[in-house]
């Protein structure tokens, strides 16, 4: 008896996937609900579990192939578990001895077959001939012998020069007697051009790799954003002194109370919510010939992973505390890095924040995340000279960039939104007191 393994429902608007990796081999034992195969969709990776206990039977689709929802991936054959087999063996009762002619003959035959003693008999000489032995046995015997390598001989002058110049002599063939490495050999090595990179040696001058489904989707959406929106970017800068001071002053108390670190992102989320409430167009989207104003504030947070950029959503951020925001960001970020993010985690965002500053970016023009109409770009914090009350002071400054769809967001609204974000971050106590 066997059970089919099929492609499960993958979420809204997702109808196909790519077989990323088979986690089990054909004939390998599997347990019910144990992941068997990993599928890659446009947005997330999905693990398909085994429907029953048994062994992986047939594999209908190979790695790298595209499948639709409901398609057959393979089968799991039901089989007795190891524990059941042992139980059956323990419960086995041998036939009772009956005093009749048939059983007497059987037992007599069994007795005849049993050896009279258990001592090891000497093997006859012909059976030990080398020509009758398997080559594998000879190879194993040969491999067990350690290979003795001669230690490289290095002259004192060459050793001194190598140590001073930090030159690796392990791959040098000495030109002296019996392979002695001389000072001239080291000098010649120092004049040799660098060897090609390991990647070039391994893959050649170029390597061609098929794009993942996630990367293809990212490329398609970013191109659509440029083609379908009248995109414009405006900039401002923010003095991060007060935010950094508050974090430094209260970070230990905050972590002790809420079991989570106080990061920068919670300040930015709170500041953006204030700006979105004041300028609803930035939290809106275009559908056909209508503008949909959204009176809820689901902030998408861009997270970089090994598989590419994903943008999980923080829902109802206007109803969240600083601690709630930090906890949810941490959980979503970890899920994204572990490849366990779900379709639901990526849907329903109304505005996006991306932080290129964690990679050292000083300034950028972020691209919209359709169908959203605006995205805020954060950057690294650098100490810069700033005029404060007529005096030049060194302050930690961050550049902010707001990219927006000019079809529904005017320049005045974009600039005013950034100004509110700037003022909120430069007076962060007002965020905590919620007095904006």
Q: Which helix (DSSP H) or strand (DSSP E) does residue 378 occupy?
A: strand 374-378
**DSSP state, residue 286:** E
- The full DSSP string for 225-262 is HHHHS-EEEEEEEEE-HHHHHHHHHHHHHHHHHHSS--
For residue 345, indicate whether it is catalytic: no
Mapped onto helix, strand or coil, the DSSP state of residue 84 is helix
Neighbours of 393 (CB within 10 A): 12
For residue 405, indicate whether it is catalytic: no
Cα 247 from Cα 264, distance rounded (Å): 8
Cα 406 from Cα 233, distance rounded (Å): 9
Q: How far is CA 324 from CA 229, 258, 277, 316, in A?
A: 33, 9, 20, 11
Cβ atoms 362, 379 nearer than 8 A = yes
Catalytic residue among 33, 253, 338, 410: 410
User: 173 Cβ partners below 8 Å, 6+ apart?
Assistant: 179, 185
Residue positions annotated with a catalytic role: 406, 410
């Amino acid at each position: 008896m066997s059970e089919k393994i099929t492609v499960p429902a993958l979420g809204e608007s997702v109808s196909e996937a790519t077989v990323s990796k088979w986690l089990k081999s054909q004939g390998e034992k599997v347990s019910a609900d144990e992941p068997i195969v990993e599928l890659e969709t446009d947005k997330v990776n999905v693990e398909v579990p085994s429907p029953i206990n048994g062994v992986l039977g047939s594999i209908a689709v190979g790695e790298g192939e595209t499948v639709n929802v409901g398609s057959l991936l393979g089968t799991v054959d039901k089989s007795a578990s190891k524990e059941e087999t042992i139980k059956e063996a323990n419960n086995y009762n041998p036939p009772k001895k009956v005093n009749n002619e048939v059983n007497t003959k059987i037992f007599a035959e069994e007795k005849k077959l049993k050896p009279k003693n258990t001592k090891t008999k000497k093997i006859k000489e012909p059976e030990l001939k080398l020509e009758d032995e398997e080559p594998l046995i000879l190879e194993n015997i040969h491999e067990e012998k350690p290979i003795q390598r001669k230690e490289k001989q290095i002259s004192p002058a060459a050793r001194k020069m190598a140590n001073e110049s930090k030159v690796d002599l392990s791959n040098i063939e000495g030109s002296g007697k019996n392979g002695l490495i001389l000072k001239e050999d080291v000098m010649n090595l120092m004049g040799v051009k660098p060897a090609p990179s390991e990647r070039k040696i391994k893959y050649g001058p170029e390597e061609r790799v098929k794009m993942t489904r996630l990367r293809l989707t990212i490329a398609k959406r970013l191109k659509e954003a440029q083609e379908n929106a009248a995109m414009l970017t405006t900039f401002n800068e923010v003095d991060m002194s007060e935010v950094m001071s508050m974090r430094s002053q209260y970070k230990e108390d905050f972590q002790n109370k809420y079991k989570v670190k106080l990061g920068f992102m919670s300040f930015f989320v709170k500041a953006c919510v204030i700006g979105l409430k004041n300028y609803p167009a930035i939290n809106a989207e275009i559908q056909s010939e209508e503008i949909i104003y959204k009176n809820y504030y689901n902030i998408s947070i861009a997270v970089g992973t090994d598989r590419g950029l994903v943008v999980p959503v923080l829902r109802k951020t206007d109803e969240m505390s600083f601690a709630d925001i930090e906890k949810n960001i941490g959980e979503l970020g970890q899920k994204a890095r572990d490849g366990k993010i779900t379709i639901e985690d990526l849907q329903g965002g109304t505005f996006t924040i991306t932080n290129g500053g964690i990679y050292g970016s000083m300034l950028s023009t972020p691209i919209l995340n359709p169908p959203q109409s605006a995205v805020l770009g954060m950057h690294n914090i650098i100490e810069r000279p700033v005029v404060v009350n007529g005096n030049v002071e060194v302050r930690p400054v961050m550049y902010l960039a707001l990219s927006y769809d000019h079809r529904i967001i005017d320049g005045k609204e974009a600039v005013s939104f950034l100004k509110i974000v700037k003022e909120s971050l430069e007076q962060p106590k007002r965020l905590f007191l919620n007095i904006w």
